[in-house]
Structure formats: C-alpha cells, structure tokens
Structure 1
Amino acid sequence: MSLHPVLNDKLSAAVAPGLELAATPRDVTLPPIPGKVHAVVGMRRAGKTTYLRQLQSQWRTSAEAARVVYLSFDDDRLAGLPLEQLGMLLEEYYRRYPDWRRRATVWWLLDEIQVVNGWERFVRRVMDTERVQMVVSGSSARMLSREVHTSLRGRGTETIIRPFSFREFLRHRGQEPEGEARSLAAPERSRVEQLLGEYLTAGGFPEAQGLASGLRIDLLQGYVDTVLFRDIVERRSVTQVAALRWLTRQCLKNPTGRFSVHRLHQDLKAQGLGVAKDALHAMVGYLEDSFLLRCVPLATESERRRNSNPRKVYPVDTGMIGAFDRTGRSNVGYALETVVLHELDRRQAEVGYVRTEAGYEVDFLARFHDGREELIQVCADIGTAETREREVRALEDASREHPRATQTLIVLNFDQLSLKVPPGVTVHAAYQWLLDAD
C-alpha cells in the first residue's frame, strides 16, 4: 500500500517553511511533563487549531522548520483514512530526514486526528519508540474531554483552550494595558472599564469579535447546535433530541442559577416530554463534557450533601447569555459572575459555592494548589446600602464555616472601591482582579 496522495501532499506542506501566523497570542502553555501526549481540548471554535499553529511557529524559531510537523486531518479527502496510513506517514517522514530518527526531537502537531479510527494506538506506539513530542487536538464527537485520558491510557495530559479571557480580549483589540491594572491612569482605566462592558456582552469567542449583535447571536446559536448534534446526539446516540434542546436552552438562558434534575424532570413531564431522570443526568454530563456548560457543586466535604444539593450552571462564554435570553433584561451580574468563574478555572482553582446554615450564599469558594482558600462574592450592582450589607453579611457568615479563607468582594467598577466594608473583606474592581492575577 502506498501513502495516501493527499496525506503525502500534506506531509510535504507540513515540513515546508510557512508564513508567520498573525493571530492573538493566548495565555496558555503546555505543562512541562516529559513523556506525555499533550491533548489540546475545548469547545468548538474556541481557537484550538490556531493555538496549534502558534505552537508550530514558536517551536520553529528554535529548531529546523522540518522538525516541527503540523498536520490537519480536517479534509474531506481523508475521510475513512485507515490507521496503517499513519504508520506509513511516520516512515515516509523519516525516509526524508533519516539523520533525525531517534537522535533529535521531532514535534508532531496532529489536528482533528480523531477522524482516524484507532489513532490512540498510533500515538502511544510512536511515543514509546521514537524521540518525539506529540500534540493532538480535536473537537468532534470522538474526542471529548473525559475520553482523552482513557484513550491514551494515562499517557495524556490535557490543556484546555477556552474563549478569550479578558486580558486576551484586550490584546485582540490592541488595548492590553502595560503594567499593573491597579496603577492605570484615569483615562486608560475608563477605557478598560468600557471594554469590560463590551466583553461581558460579546464574550470571548474569536470569531464573534467585532460582529454586530444579530450576527453574533446567529453565530453563537450555530455553535450550540453543532455541539448538540455532532458532539452529543451523534456520539451518544441520544434519541430524545427535543428534551436535550430544551434542557440546553433552559441552562443557557438562566445562567448562574441553581438547578436540580428533579425539577427539570417535572418541567419536562408537564410539557409532555417524558424523559427518565437518569437520561437527564446523562445529558447534563454530555453538555459539560463538550465544554458548553460548567456546573459548580456545593462546597462541602460530604459527598452525600454535594450530590443531594443543586448545582449552579454557567455557560462556556458570556456571549451565550444574550444569545439565548431574549427577554431584554440586564444580564451584567450574571455575566460578571460567569467571567469570574472561568478566570478561577484558568488559575486552576477547585471551585464550589457556599450555602451557610443561616441560609446565606457566597458565589465561590476557591481552593488553590498552594493551599490558599478564598471566599469570593461577585456583585455588579452594589449601589444601595441594603445590597452591600447583604453581600458582606454572606461573606462574614461563610467565613465562620471556612475560617482559613480570605474574603473577597468583586465589584464592577473602580468607583465602587470606596465602599465601607468590615475589616477582613477586600474589595476589587472587576477589571483589576481579572488582569492582576496573584
């Protein structure tokens, strides 16, 4: 069998010097763990392919161009490509560059590799027998988050590409500030606050940047439909599509809300959509696995309490909120809370929400790898004394149950920093907290 002609052409293009990629740099790095396959995952259209291209450009500055191989299998002519062609591809590469085999590291970046059935076996074999660094990526139904580690049998490490963070959003606009955000001069601070308002509405999907509202909504709704039908219905053989779509829309248009499968089951039953509770549990898991939703559990050491209490649900991106909530209500508070959650995820915190015995709720309890704990309350509109008292009281009550945690109140704008709060509560303007990571 000869090498597939399209694959042969791709290999020739992959090792040739390419044009410098003009794209917004991402604040994402591959973990420096030797001997691991780097699996770059995330929701569709978040920028995984662009990130792989950026890695290619970066690595080619420190090595011969031909030692950095980028191959995209997102080509209809490669549909049904047999697994043995990957082995032939490897051999053809080393026939072209025999002096490098097992003597110099070759970087392989394989995009949309999931189109080849059994690709995991090829990757594991190459990692065991050759001197390579391997990065794989894909966003179809056959390469979801929870399956990466299983398919690579412990040889994989995961890197998540999310929609733009606020700093990446500013960088994309050419407005990234220099120095610490807390030290910005008044004119620049006002500009950053204005852009934060745009970010909370438009979100961080790269293709959505600069689009008019109607076009952006159509684009984001199309993303959701693609996830539902390609990553869930096709992959999981879900037959109750109407129930899945209803569940998804309910979650996206009611962000930051607590939900229980029992209540959703009752609502669906009232609409004549008979779905078993187990099926609903599974659907929520599929939505999380495809990165469309992020569910936050109650922060407790008790597994029973965590499973029996409602979770809070957040969309992958704030742009989804306006795309599915057409009531015209202000969603700034929901969007700000969503942005804070995803920033905590970027900072690799373990996150839960707190509900005290007295009935007060704090948005997040964040636990970091270095042992720090932080109680975080997010409030976009804190103009009244009653609101301030309620938010601070919740933090103080939660601190009795979590005495090691610092107390943080994140407010929307700089002019709210003059709020009088009790000792022990630190107030941050949102743009400062988002840009000045500890």
Structure 2
Amino acid sequence: MEKRVIKSLIIEKQNEIPTMEIMPRKLELEETCNYVFVGLRRAGKSYLMFQHIQELLLKKEVRIEEILYINFEDERIADIKVEELGLIVEAYHELYSYKPRIYLDEIQNIKGWEKFVRRLADSKYRIFITGSNAQMLSKEIYTTLGGRFIAKEIYPFSFPEYLKYQHFDLVANWEYNLKVKAELVKKFETYFYFGGFAETFPLKDKRSWLNSLFQKILLGDVISRNDIRNESSIRLIVKKLAESIMQPLALARILGVIKSAGCSLSYNTLVDYLQYLNDAYLIFGISNFSDKLSEKESIKKRYFFDNGLLNTFIIEPESKLLENLVAIELKKRYQEGVFYYKKNVEVDFYIPSMHSAIQVSLSLSQSDTREREVRALIKMSQAYPLKKLQIITWEEEDVVEEADLHIEVLPLWKWLLI
C-alpha cells in the first residue's frame, strides 16, 4: 500500500465531510472515550461519524486538518494488509503535525485489526470505529481492546427520526387536528412497509433498493465473510424465518424444512448459520422467559432488524410487520431484556425490568380476538407482578379495565412516539 494513496484519501474526506448534508440524530458521547459503532449495513453508522466531526468543527474544538478518516470499503484501500495499517498514521503525520482524531470505517474487513486499534488507544489517540458485524462486540475483541472502547449499536431511523427527516413537526395538541393526524398516519404507512433506511426515503422504487441491500448483506456479510458454500440452505433459512415471524421456531423445525426441500444440513451448521445472520444484524431472537436455559437457546421467536427487509419476503404482511416493528423498538429500548412468555398462555413480549407485558394484534374489532388478548395479559399478571399492560394495534385506541387491571390499547404509530 502506497502512502500517497492514503494521503489522498485523508485529504479527500477532509474536503467532503464539512460540506455533507446530514440530518442530526441523537448522539451522546463521553468527551474522553473511544467508541465502536456497530449495526446493520446502511443503518447510518458512517453518517454518525460525519455528524460527530461536524459538531466538533462547529464548536471549534478541532480544525478539519486534525481529522483522520479512512473507509476500509473504499476500493483504493481494499487490499491493505493488517501489517500495513500503521502506514495510515505515518501518512497523516507526513501531512500534518497534529495528533488527529481517528475515524476508521468498516475496519472489520481487515483481519487482525484489533491490535492496531489497541496500539492507537495506548498511544492516547481518540478513536472511533464502525463495523457491520456483531463479532466486534465479542468478548475476545473487548479483551484485546482492553476496555478502552464503548460500544453503541446503531439502528436504522426510528419513526420519530423519519418524521424529522420529512420535516414533519408535531405541534401542540396535534392529536386533535384531524388534518395533521391524517398526514401523520400516511407517513407512518410508508415507514411501516419500507423501514428506516434513510437512503430509501426519497426513492420511488424502495423495494429494489431493499432487495439489493439484502443481497449485499447475505452475499457479502454472511456468505463470503464466513466462507459458506451451501448458499441455497442459508437462503431457505432466511425465507423460513421471514414466514415464521410471530411464532416460536425450534431449530429442529428449521432443519426439517431444509431437509424437506432436499438440502442437507447438520444441526451444528444450522446453529452457525443462524449466528452468522445474527452477527450481520439481519435477524435477532428473543427467548421464552419461562423456558429452561437449553430451550431458551433452541426455541426462539426471530425478527428482522428492519421492516423494509422483512417486507421483501412476505405477502399480506401487515400482522407480521406490526409485531416485527414492536420487537425492533423494544430491542432498542431494553437490549437483551426482552422476552416472550409462553406457559399455559402466550404473551408476545415481556420486559421483566419494567414489569411490563405487551400483546400485538392488528385489530381488536372481533370480540373473540379482544377477549383472547386481554385474557392472556390477565393470566400472566396472576403469575408475575405486572405494572404496565399494553395491546398494540394498527389503529385502535382504548383503555380496558378488567380484573383490577388497567390495559392500554394503542395504535402502533402512537406507541412509537411515546
């Protein structure tokens, strides 16, 4: 790798970043810490780096010459070896005499990057790195980095962020303004079906972009990165997971589907494939709170990290997308502290730390559906001290008072704004 190439990349980004048009997202960082931004591809990790740089420039805390940004997916640096990473800092110091803030984008592409970054941290550089693989959060990497980094998982835009992008401000008493409410619901429908990838927002053909992104994630972040040769099986797994949103799915059941399709796959390989899909931030799973430890791992409800990606697989998607979007939001809010509950009764989501239980139902207009959803919450409350009970629907809003319980019924768009 030639230093002149690295120097041109450094200066190129120094020219670009200050003029980039960025919609600010909430970003709270400690002044003296290093960070790892990790999450789904195209979720906005790089733009959060750019946002942070622009904020520093605006506050005059740094000058642009003090910024060293490298994107490891740039084809001009794609063949750099781990032993050449030191050239990046050397090239910078041949240009400037400052001690830079260092931003390393998608560095997981370089095998063995951890020791290089650790060395920079030991030398008191302020460092920000991004990656599209959850392995960057593994214990092994944290051991190598020596506790010098704080990890932040980055998601596609939330519904409030989507509204902000669309310059849609909720004024006082907006709930009583029928025109504003109708426009809000219309915008929610687009977000509901096509998800939170900002690059899709101005596009007319969002589905093609989402299909292309899925192929990039599957082929690049899953199949190529993990040297998978049984491509047909992993594609079948993803399809089955999409079709099975809302339902607990045992590993044995997935194996049965694969074998019935004429593919051969071992139990251990299936476990590996599911982990690869998790690592690429394509899917995530939640366990049954009442299951034994072994069952918690082998039987899960699995969801997609974005509704737009899920919607590329399914027809008549409304019920699945409704529950999937609730699952995404709960994972954002409570990380690993989200479960479902199934023991004589089934409740879609249980958050023990909040003593909260949530049912998801497209509509409660049918009396038997309403009774089933309410009864499940009542029965669960007899086993656990629940303080907050909710039923999330497409458009209905109500309060159910039954068995000395207060159950909120909320439309999803409103729940996402709380």
Matches within 5 A, 1:287-326: 287-300=277-290, 302-307=292-297, 310-325=299-314
Aligned to 2:49: 52
**Aligned-partner residue type, residue 318 of structure 2:** V
C-alpha contact 1:392 1:421 (8 A) present in aligned 2:
no
Aligned to 1:191: 183
Aligned to 1:346: 332
C-alpha contact 2:192 2:321 (8 A) present in aligned 1:
yes
Q: 1:355 to 1:143 in 2, by over 3 A?
A: closer
Aligned to 2:342: 355
Aligned to 2:40: 43
Matches within 5 A, 1:6-405: 6-15=5-14, 18-30=17-29, 32=30, 34-35=32-33, 37-62=34-59, 63-65=61-63, 66-94=65-93, 97-98=96-97, 100-101=98-99, 106-130=100-124, 132-139=125-132, 145-146=137-138, 148-149=141-142, 152-178=145-171, 183=175, 185-212=177-204, 215-300=205-290, 302-307=292-297, 310-325=299-314, 327=315, 329=316, 331-349=317-335, 350-356=337-343, 358=344, 360-367=345-352, 371-405=353-387
Name the SS of the counterpart of 1:377 in structure 2.
strand
C-alpha contact 1:60 1:68 (8 A) present in aligned 2:
no
**Aligned-partner residue type, residue 104 of structure 2:** L
| C-alpha distance in structure 2 between counterparts of 1:142 and 1:384, whole Å | 42
TM-score, length-scaled by structure 2: 0.89
Q: How high is the sequence identity, in percent, across the aligned residues? A: 26
Q: 1:92 to 1:222 in 2, by over 3 A?
A: closer
C-alpha contact 1:145 1:290 (8 A) present in aligned 2:
no
| C-alpha distance in structure 1 between counterparts of 2:129 and 2:117, whole Å | 9
Shift of 1:275: 0.7
Q: Structure 2 regions of 5+ residues with no counterpart?
A: none
Q: 1:254 to 1:151 in 2, by over 3 A?
A: farther
Name the SS of the counterpart of 2:351 in structure 1.
strand
**Which is further off, 255-264 or 399-408?**
399-408
C-alpha contact 2:40 2:155 (8 A) present in aligned 1:
yes
| C-alpha distance in structure 1 between counterparts of 2:134 and 2:412, whole Å | 38
**Aligned-partner residue type, residue 375 of structure 2:** R
Q: 1:334 to 1:198 in 2, by over 3 A?
A: same
C-alpha contact 1:145 1:289 (8 A) present in aligned 2:
no
| C-alpha distance in structure 1 between counterparts of 2:169 and 2:414, whole Å | 13
| C-alpha distance in structure 2 between counterparts of 1:79 and 1:175, whole Å | 40
TM-score, length-scaled by structure 1: 0.85
Q: Structure 1 regions of 5+ residues with no counterpart?
A: none
Shift of 1:279: 0.9
**Aligned-partner residue type, residue 10 of structure 1:** L
